[in-house]
Structure 1
Amino acid sequence: MRAQLRRSAALLAGVLMPATLLMSGPAASAASTAVSADGPVAGAFAKAATTYEVPRDLLVSLAYAETHLDGHDGQPSASGGYGVMHLVTSRTLERAATLTGRPVAELKSDDAANIAGGAAVLRALADEAGLDAAARKDPARWYTPIARYGGAASADVARLYADTVYDLLAEGVRGTAEGGESVTVKPRAVEPDRGTYGKAKDLDGPSTLAAAVDYPQATWVAANSANYAVSSRPTSDAIDRIVIHVAQGSYAGTISWFQNPAAKVSSHYVVRSSDGAVTQMVREKDRAFHAGDYNRRSVGIEHEGFVNDATWFTDAMYRSSAALTRNIADRYGIPKDRTHIVGHSQVPGTDHTDPGGYWNWTTFMNYVTGGSGGPTNPHTAESVCGSGYKAIDSAALGTAGTVYLLYNSANGNNCVATIKKTSIGTASATSAYLEVEGKTRVTDSGSFAYYAGPIRAAAAGKCVKWGGKAGSSVYDSPFEHCG
């Protein structure tokens, strides 16, 4: 049964989006439109990849991370990015125009021109990084150009940006471009060469600044001080509202934008689409600049995505954001209703429309008021590893799962298993590994519906390294549990 389940999950990996989607309205019917893999957008990616010697699958993965392949009718993101490749004003947009010889207006509105522009910029960054013709054929060597393409304000966020692209490459992509055209990337695991970014903090790893966050499951990344006001809430101002936003941009892009002093905007939290990961950027006691007249009285939660594209609003995002909202409401005594938990569009005096018509308020509020509201994982680490094994250590993988180290005192064996917490029953990238000191590491990695592992090994009298991955969150232990 386990083998059959894993084979089915592996087959599903090539045809499913990276996360389960909850859609309502026009997007639900649009998702079932017949598509072609040989359409103009797929062709534009292939042509740009060939012209500029950029790995095609990396180019598509980068575009999907930025925009889900939606050019948004030539309208800019919150951070001034245009088109499928998110060419940003005063940075990549003008450079793309110089490199391709195409007008800026065309790069903003024409998908093929925009894709060519993105590929040209990426190739220029590869040249600056010293990638020769042989290196350009190796997707692992493109990590530094991709990290720089995102324009992050810090090395930590640049690493988050590039890791997202490589995670998508590993999971595979099935995106729907304008007109219902399908653009796909088959799952392909690549161990990237991070170069100097290997020394940057892994923002998907365990937080080392837990004391800085108000919500224990969040990672802390500080917004620029120009983008919020230091305060002493709730002493200075009562907190009685929670405002739901859609960022009009990607997770890494939004975090980077809030670190940019030119933005003059911020939010307390940012939530990722794929796995519901949460980053806190402004302390709740301080006033984030997110909701005009409600800044003094509210906590703001930004969600990765665009208001006119339902594919960003995944079940993992709804559940994670609802858990965060419930936690905030409980701590400040805020009623869990639509009078006190509001969209940005409901704030008096605003001209914003987010979270928009595709945001499923019924699903979200059911999760806020009723807990998880969905399936739980029927498997435990003990049941996966088998009789006699007991958990002796564990590490949270964001909100997506937990990796466990177990020990069997009867035979001196260790076992590692990663148990998913989100996208239960749906194939998604999950892994577990165990390395006994002096022996080769053993890894179980793939698109699994419930768990990765078990990996068992005799380790009596030996130190072990262990870890795993669920969604985009990774844990790697040092050698430990010796003896």
Structure 2
Amino acid sequence: MSVRSPHRGRFLLALTTALTGVVAAAAPAAADPGGSSPPAAPLASAFDTAAARYDVPRDLLVALGYAESRLDMHVGTASAAGGYGLMHLASNRAARTLDEAATLTRLSPAELRTEPAANVLGAAAVLRSYADQAGLTGVTRDDLNGWYGPVARYGGGTEASVARLYADTVYDLLRAGFTGRGEAVSGRPVAPRRGVLERAAVLGGIGTLSTDYGPAAWAPASTSNYTTASRPGSHPVNRIVIHVTQGSYAGSISWFQNPAAQVSAHYTVRSSDGAVTQSVREKDIAWHAGNWTYNTQSIGIEHEGFVDNPAWFTDAMYRASAALTRSLATKYGIPRDRSHIIGHVEVSGATHTDPGPNWNWTYYLQLVNGVTGIGSGTVHTSASTLNVRSGPGVSYPVVDVVANGATVAVYCQTVGSTVTGPYGTTAVWNRIGTNRYVSDAYVLTGYDGYIPNVPRC
């Protein structure tokens, strides 16, 4: 059955009021000065209301939104695949979830695209309609594991292995747990009932590996989205172009398989773990740069995420992408410098801005050139915990804490504000995770300042 809401105005007014009334939690007491509170949880009421209204498991909704967007509305702008909002309500040839949501909720497409509460409600309505069509009942809807088919269908994948990749990503998040935008979902055992997708190839498994780059999975783009060639014989390969997908990993791979897309890239790199999928053979010409000459003479690498949210650019992603770029540079004799490893924004005539200002070129090029060490250190502070900040300085927000005596990995180091701590006065800051920095004045690394063979951020 389809559930509709005839009172959309009253619903959105009430939910908007609820969203603005959430109170921020207090910041933890910690060692370095200038502490501030983590962001509040403004989406809680939206997920509560949508889950209850359409009888969809709340954590499933949150996990789907986190997989699609890290729960970010992106100011109502469309993804590369024509998806909107934190739930990626899509309008393209393969997925029409935006139109379906409008029909089911009687909310306008504009509301669904731009208002968080409406966007979440629309996704819940679509998932519920898919569950009804799959035969889920009031009892079976309570079982997370029974929603695998509706989740896979929501992703819009036209090829079984990509549909499975999409749904598996959501269930992997439920299994591991995650936090973001004020939402916290605890990990739990899951055993999704995949149905016919149980027989689908697992990207990265036996039989689906790239023949060009061993660590990559193979998920071919539609032949409508690239040009067959015989490079480097037919065209020299002298550049690598770095892109950001403006969408999710599985969604981007699926988009390349959609004949209507008219775009593709040779490789796509996942944010969470650096997994790599190839969609176009290196010998062929992917349509990624928006400039035919650049297309013919380059390899395009997409990176999962959005240019306006640096949380997507994880160390796992940087390191996996850099290893791929290093391999390509060696294979084709491409110099490992910024004249030959460029962003999409640097392509002549480009209308795209990716990878954007949050992409760390200094760090990436050092990794490409073999400066790949990871340091370690022990936190020492007179307090019980040390504040972790989103950037290298006390003016950046506090995003976490680490306990006194904890061991931390140091992925790269950079200059920031000057801090005095147990190990002297220094402007060196250590990145211990994605957008997570602590002053070197509080970390015993065995070195005075910079650690040898650890990249600069």
Q: TM-score, normalised by structure 1?
A: 0.69
Residue 198 of structure 1, CA deviation: 0.4
Give the corresponding residue for 1:389: none
Q: Residues 208 and 219 of structure 2 are in contact (CA less than 8 Å); yes or no, is this contact kept in structure 1?
A: no
Please give the alpha-carbon distance, in whole angstroms, between the structure 1 residues aligned to 2:48 and 2:242: 38
SS of residue in 2 equivalent to 1:248: coil
Q: Please state how far the C-alpha of 1:138 moved relative to its aligned partner.
A: 0.5
Aligned equivalent of 1:77: 79
- How is 1:25-424 mapped onto 2 (pairs within 5 angstroms)? 33-37=37-41, 39=42, 41-90=43-92, 91-176=96-181, 182-204=182-204, 206-210=205-209, 212-291=210-289, 292=291, 293-375=293-375
Q: Deviations over 1:296-319 (max 9, x none)?
A: 110000000000011110000000
Q: Which runs of 5 or more structure 1 residues have no equivalent in the other structure?
A: 1-30, 177-181, 377-423, 427-448, 450-483
In the superposition, relative to structure 1, how do residues 207 and 269 fare at CA in structure 2: closer, same or farther (>3 Å)?
Answer: farther
Task: Give the AA of the match of 1:77.
Answer: S
Measure how far apart 1:124 and its partner are.
0.4
| Helix, strand or coil at the partner of 1:184 | strand
Asked whether the equivalents of residues 171 and 192 of structure 2 are also in contact (C-alpha less than 8 Å), the reply is yes
Q: CA deviation at 1:371?
A: 4.5
2:264/2:286 contact within 8 Å kept:
yes
Residues in 1 aligned to 2:58 and 2:134: alpha-carbon distance in whole angstroms? 19
Counterpart of 1:236 in structure 2: which amino acid?
A: S
Amino acid at match of 1:289: W
Counterpart of 1:3 in structure 2 is none
State the alpha-carbon separation in 2 of the partners of residues 264 and 372 from structure 1: 36
CA distance in 1, matches of 2:232, 2:36: 48
Paired residue secondary structure (1:246)? coil
User: How many Å apart are 1:230 and its aligned residue?
Assistant: 0.4
Taking structure 1 as reference, are residues 225 and 54 closer, same or farther at Cα in structure 2, changes over 3 Å only?
same
Shift of the 148–235 alpha-carbon distance from structure 1 to 2, 3 Å rule, reads same
The residue type equivalent to 2:68 in the other structure is: E
Displacement of 1:99 in angstroms is 0.4
SS of 1:334's partner is coil
**TM-score with structure 2 length normalisation?**
0.73
Per-residue Cα deviation, 1:161-197 (whole angstroms, up to 9, x for no partner): 0000001111112112xxxxx1111112211111111
**Residues 271 and 321 in structure 1, CA contact (< 8 A), matched pair in contact too:** yes
Contact 2:201 2:208 in 1 (8 A): no
Specify the code of the residue in structure 2 equivalent to 1:81: G
Distance 1:345 1:356 in 2: 8
SS in 2 for 1:34: coil
SS in 2 for 1:169: helix
Q: Letter of the aligned partner of 1:62 in structure 2? A: L
1:385-431, CA deviations, whole angstroms, 9 ceiling, x for partnerless residues?
A: xxxxxxxxxxxxxxxxxxxxxxxxxxxxxxxxxxxxxxx968xxxxx
Provide the rounded CA distance (Å) in 2 between the counterparts of 1:84 and 1:300.
26
The 1:322–1:261 alpha-carbon spacing in structure 2 relative to 1, beyond 3 Å, is: same
Q: How far is 1:123 from its partner? A: 0.4
CA distance in 2, matches of 1:189, 1:347: 46
What is the alpha-carbon root mean square deviation over aligned residues? 1.7
Shift of 1:209: 4.1
Tell me, what secondary structure is at the counterpart of 1:173? Answer: strand
Q: Distance in 2 between matches of 1:326 and 1:53?
A: 49
1:252 offset after TM fit, Å? 0.2
1:333-380 Cα distance to aligned partner (Å, 9 max, x none):
11100111000001111111000000111111111112533259xxxx
Q: Is the 8 A contact 2:131 2:147 kept in 1?
A: yes
AA of the residue aligned to 1:271: V
Given that 1:207 and 1:219 are in contact with CA atoms closer than 8 Å, whether structure 2 keeps it comes out as no
TM-aligned CA distance change 1:60 to 1:202, over 3 Å: same
Q: Residues 170 and 209 (structure 1 numbering): CA distance in 2 closer, same or farther, change over 3 Å?
A: closer
Structure 2, gaps ≥5 residues long:
1-34, 377-406, 410-432, 434-457
In the superposition, relative to structure 1, how do residues 32 and 248 fare at CA in structure 2: closer, same or farther (>3 Å)? farther
Bigger mean CA offset, 366-375 vs 348-357: 366-375
CA–CA distance in structure 1, aligned partners of residues 78 and 334 of structure 2? 35
CA deviation digits over 1:103-153, x for unaligned, max 9? 110000000000000000000000011000111000011000000000001
**Does structure 2 conserve the Cα–Cα contact (< 8 Å) formed by 1:44 and 1:116?**
yes
Contact 2:71–2:86, Cα closer than 8 Å, also in 1: yes
Amino acid in structure 2 at the alignment position of 1:153: T
**8 Å Cα contact 2:152/2:164 also seen in 1:** yes
**Structure 2: which amino acid aligns with 1:168?**
L
Paired letter, 1:363: Y
Structure 1 residue runs of 4 or more that deviate by more than 3 Å after TM superposition: none
Alpha-carbon separation, structure 2, partners of 1:253 and 1:237: 30
Q: Which amino acid aligns with 1:151?
A: G
The whole-number CA distance in structure 2 between the counterparts of 1:116 and 1:351 is 33
